[in-house]
Amino acid sequence: MPNVGTNRRLVVDLHCHAMSLDVERLVADRPEKKAEPQLQLRAQGEASTVHNATVMLPQAMPKLTSIELRLRDMDAMGVDVQVVSPSPNQYYYWADEELAREVVRVQNEHIAALADSHPRRIVGLGTLALQHPRLAVEQLEHAVRRLGLRGVEVSSAVNGLELSDSSLESVWAKAEELGCLVFLHPLGTSLGARLDRYYLCNTVGQPVETTVALSHLIFGGVLDRYPGLKLCAAHGGGYLPHYLGRSDHAFRVRPEAGHLKRQPSEYLKRIWFDTVVHDPGVLQRLIDVVGASQVVIGTDYPFDMGAYDVQGLVDAVPGLSDAERARILGLNAADLLGLKPTPST
């Protein structure tokens, strides 16, 4: 168990990424991987594709792969602990079972090695081959019990299947049994060509995907069947926390939406949300809806859509007590992940 140095402003960043180059070598010759550039061009348009290839990725890649750069940036940002999850482009849900077994093994061992190399600064989340649910259950058990990872990162859908699909029940049951974190982070968007310019695929598409995925988990009864599931949503939970009245209204008036044990807004008080919302007013609304106990710091390190002045963002939210700010900055995440604070030396 990592020890976290304590101080009044402990900062635990729950949303940041690393990339395994060994995973990239595993998939390099697969036709699905070779098709990625054309798929990206169609999804995000030429301007975003060119900018990502020539500016964003060259700037991010060294930080995705260098622990030295990561630790230096953490110090500069005032981050005590990073909770590192795989770069979402490495989900590779298209992989067959044999390849998926190896991709996840290599990826999870890579994240575990990062955490083991700096146990006071790095905590790991792994990945799963959700397209093969029986295998995913094995991988989840191995990641948590054998590798010491604190949970896993998942996308907002799996090859067109929603996260509430019956094929994934065993995965949620195992995650609840293990008491580990499930970090919901989408890759791309299902809205297609409507978002293929102005980087709308990310700016709008990512929050939409999170909103839809959370809605399926709620209305699909997953959170009723697995009340102990620890779920954290990236990008502040998308748009859902800011438009809950419509979901609650549907629960009251629509029979196909009214089968839940409680109204949808109540489930958000059992989910955690990161602070990657870029605006103190939006963060204030999120806190008002879900409570300060359910909000954790996130930066989306090291991508250009990240939010890196986390202490400034939290300080700019009016009306929070010192205790609430301390919980959002680090203590909520420490409790959620079972980190053990000890005095700094």
210-253 pLDDT, tens digit per residue, is: 999 999 999 999 999 999 999 999 999 999 999 999 999 999 99
Nearest to 14 by CA among 155, 122, 136, 154: 122
Question: For position 78, what pLDDT does the model report?
Answer: 95
Rounded mean pLDDT of 69-93?
A: 97
DSSP-assigned letter for residue 303 = S
* pLDDT > 70? residue 4: no
| 209-222 exposure pattern, b = at least 16 Cβ within 10 A, e = fewer | bbbbbbbbbbbbeb
More confident: 344 or 106? 106
* pLDDT > 60? residue 343: no
Question: For position 1, what pLDDT does the model report?
Answer: 41
Question: For position 341, what pLDDT does the model report?
Answer: 60
The CA angle 238-279-15, to the nearest 5 degrees, is 55
Burial of 8 (0-12, 13-18, 19+ CB in 10 A): exposed
Rounded mean pLDDT of 20-25?
A: 97
pTM of the model: 0.95
Look at residue 131 and give its three-state secondary structure: coil
Question: For position 9, what pLDDT does the model report?
Answer: 83
* pLDDT > 90? residue 300: yes
* pLDDT > 60? residue 81: yes
Look at residue 216 and give its three-state secondary structure: helix
Which residues does 291 contact at the CB level (< 8 Å), separation at least 6? 269
Beta bridge partners of 42: none
pLDDT tens digits, residue range 108-125?
999 999 999 999 999 999
Question: For position 340, what pLDDT does the model report?
Answer: 76
Query: Euclidean distance between the first and final Cα of the chain, in Å?
Result: 17
* pLDDT > 50? residue 5: no
Average pLDDT, the chain: 94
Question: For position 151, what pLDDT does the model report?
Answer: 98
Which residues does 286 contact at the CB level (< 8 Å), separation at least 6? 236, 237, 241, 242, 273, 277, 295
Question: For position 108, what pLDDT does the model report?
Answer: 98
* pLDDT > 90? residue 8: no
pLDDT tens digits, residue range 25-62?
999 999 999 999 999 999 999 999 999 999 999 999 99
Which residues does 111 contact at the CB level (< 8 Å), separation at least 6? 18, 20, 84, 85, 86, 124, 125, 126, 147, 149
Q: Residue type at 89?
A: N
Question: For position 188, what pLDDT does the model report?
Answer: 87
Beta bridge partners of 126: 152
Question: For position 68, what pLDDT does the model report?
Answer: 97
Rg (CA), the chain: 19
**CATH classification number, 3-343, choose in 3.40.50.2000, 3.20.20.70, 3.30.565.10, 3.20.20.140:** 3.20.20.140
* Cβ pair 297, 12 in contact under 8 A: yes
Integer CA distances (angstroms), 83 to 122, 125, 274, in order = 6, 7, 12
pLDDT tens digits, residue range 251-277?
999 999 999 999 999 999 999 999 999
Which tokens hold the place of 88? 């979402």
User: Tokens 């019990």 belong to which residue?
Assistant: 145
Nearest to 127 by CA among 136, 114, 117: 136
Question: For position 3, what pLDDT does the model report?
Answer: 47
pLDDT band at 165 (very low <50, low <70, confident <90, very high): very high
Q: Residue type at 20?
A: S
* pLDDT > 60? residue 204: yes
Pairing of strands 3-6, 340-343: parallel
* Cβ pair 201, 160 in contact under 8 A: no
Nearest to 43 by CA among 166, 175, 205: 205
What phi, psi does 258 have (nearest 5°)?
-105, 20
